Structure 1
């Protein structure tokens, strides 16, 4: 997941809600692997708890090799191993930028943490959680008014959960009233109105990320076994059907407009409607 999406928090939650919660939780960087007792020292510190390799995609080849050797010789009381990365390790492995043997040793269970802008429904819940936690830490108890909640819902949060957390902490300190309004939110975010979602590149990026998550889930459901052959054509066909149906609905069933929207000619659209067995309704008359 992207920087700030909460990967480390999720790793901590996995530890805290497991039967290892009373054992150590250790976060390691590449530097912790070097030296005579590097890997052994990490295992000793973790003592059967949880050992997290933070941003493992940035580890050099030597550090990756040390982890491979450590994983191949784990003791019986070995800690749970978790690795986080901003980058797609499968792509890095395919490009020869990450060790294949380490990738397969780590990929038993893979979790993709979406960017905060892709889970807008979580933003008010997270904001309430952070404000409540700040109150427990001794700050004045604060809540968000409806207009403030609307402002944070529409902000893109490039820094993800970490940025939201820091913003709410600043508001807990600086907001003059117990109820935080939109003006305070906008001032804290840089004295600019909270931007609305933009068309174009940002939307395309979100769409690509959403498709990527669904494809990754499809692969994960096969339990480490490759899907049946012919995946490329099968995926394109399954994506093509809802795309054409939604485009037809968006254009009121006007196939000329739909073809123009999709960037294909009308004969091609008609053939696809037939091939994909798209049911023709009164709003979708064939030309």
Structure 2
């Protein structure tokens, strides 16, 4: 890799890591914590690539891109940001950034993008000298605006954000598919609210609306704007046929720019609706110019706690008490399966905002809230923890929600192990994984077995099928405290 890279980030650690990595790759690197210094370097003709943060002490990195483009049209800009929102991705794309990467970014990925940017830019015969790094006061990552519709650092969400940004102002109809509660309606609204059509009419059409009135609203209010059709598979056959006719009429409008953009929300498998006859093929193919799937919350584990905090902030902005999560509460929330997806998470956070006794939500309060799963919002039937009559209350643990369709222990273990590997990205976990995983499984197994037998070690050893002396040694090695108690009837 060859070239000079200009880095602007108010986090000294990030500047150091990027400087070292790019220098080892063969680049010359100049880093600063100031957008003013970055602008000065660009205006002086320095640099072959810019890597800039968004929220800086003296401005917004994305806002500087048009000026960079004007001064140096051939200078690529890579944007990195802790504001992992759909709006950030769209703004970076609209500003013609070479690439946008969320923080914490994958260093090999960023290096690959930097290499691509440098390889596409013509080299200059000389490079002006640059003074050393300008250091500004350290600053933390700015938190997401509570009004932002969607946030997500997980690769699946970032890929979705990039797709939205690419087709935001295209004339193609869009299908947004996904499970119940994942945020399909928010994504659909984003196609209108963040696009060039935002100042024109928006009509939302569902199967519950009288079709004649809805058609009249589309014809009078949605010219040049957008129409969101919620779950067209839920419309009866006659209504679907009328929708096909309506779309043909809209497409045939001779006046340029009058046809509204069509945005549809569908279930996680539109092809299944087609195969089952719930959705007309001619309607689907008129709506599916581009299809994008919103991932369920279980596919973006790393987003759960940031989303929870974001939803608490949004609740506070709407007048609910201002709350934060304790470490214990955050850990419980992260490990919850959330079959109701983001909708269930939001309801849980609003409940906690109202019911928490103090400003910081405790582990116990989070456990109690997570146990209250609103059945009407589940995307799948979920069984409550199986407790036999008279079984002890294991209030010290979060109730584990077990899918009725798939309750095999091996599947749950496999999911957790895969999640552990996924969290390390392209790197492998630290050595010693086998013994470490066995220890982590062994301790809760012994604790639960002891709890179930009232602390009776003889019964516990018999339950586990091991020698009592072996059990005692394991309890000592794992520092498990044993308390005998009388079982409640």
Asked if Structure 1 and Structure 2 have the same fold, meaning a TM-score greater than 0.5 normalized by the shorter chain, the answer is: yes
1:73 to 249, 272, 283: 249
Q: Aligned pair in 2 of structure 1 residues 148, 31: CA closer, same or farther (>3 Å)?
A: closer
Q: Aligned pair in 2 of structure 1 residues 15, 138: CA closer, same or farther (>3 Å)?
A: same
Gaps of 5+ in 1: 208-249, 252-287
**Preserved CA contact (<8 Å) 1:68 1:102:** yes
Which structure 1 residue ranges, 4+ long, deviate > 4 Å from structure 2?
A: 195-200
Match status 1:99 vs 2:280: yes
Match of 1:53 in 2: 229
State the alpha-carbon separation in 2 of the partners of residues 63 and 87 from structure 1: 22
Q: Aligned pair in 2 of structure 1 residues 32, 138: CA closer, same or farther (>3 Å)?
A: closer
Match of 2:299 in 1: 118
Match of 2:406 in 1: 201
Match of 1:10 in 2: 187
Q: Match of 2:266, SS?
A: coil
Gaps of 5+ in 2: 1-177, 373-394, 416-432, 435-489
Match status 1:20 vs 2:197: yes
Q: Match of 1:2, SS?
A: coil
Query: Per-residue CA shift, 1:28-68, capped at 9, x if unaligned?
Result: 11243533x54233232323222111122211111111111
Q: Match of 1:148, SS?
A: helix
Q: Match of 2:263, SS?
A: strand
Match status 1:184 vs 2:365: yes
- Normalized per residue, the structure richer in helix is 1
Q: Aligned pair in 2 of structure 1 residues 198, 34: CA closer, same or farther (>3 Å)?
A: closer
Match status 1:148 vs 2:304: no
State the alpha-carbon separation in 1 of the partners of residues 201 and 309 from structure 2: 29
State the alpha-carbon separation in 1 of the partners of residues 398 and 262 from structure 2: 39
Q: Which of structures 1 and 2 has the bigger CA Rg? A: 2
State the alpha-carbon separation in 1 of the partners of residues 289 and 233 from structure 2: 17
**Preserved CA contact (<8 Å) 1:50 1:82:** yes
**Preserved CA contact (<8 Å) 1:32 1:42:** no
Match of 1:40 in 2: 216
Q: Match of 2:293, SS?
A: coil
State the alpha-carbon separation in 1 of the partners of residues 336 and 398 from structure 2: 5
Q: CA RMSD in A?
A: 2.7
Query: Per-residue CA shift, 1:122-172, capped at 9, x if unaligned?
Result: 111211111111111222221111111111111111111111111111111
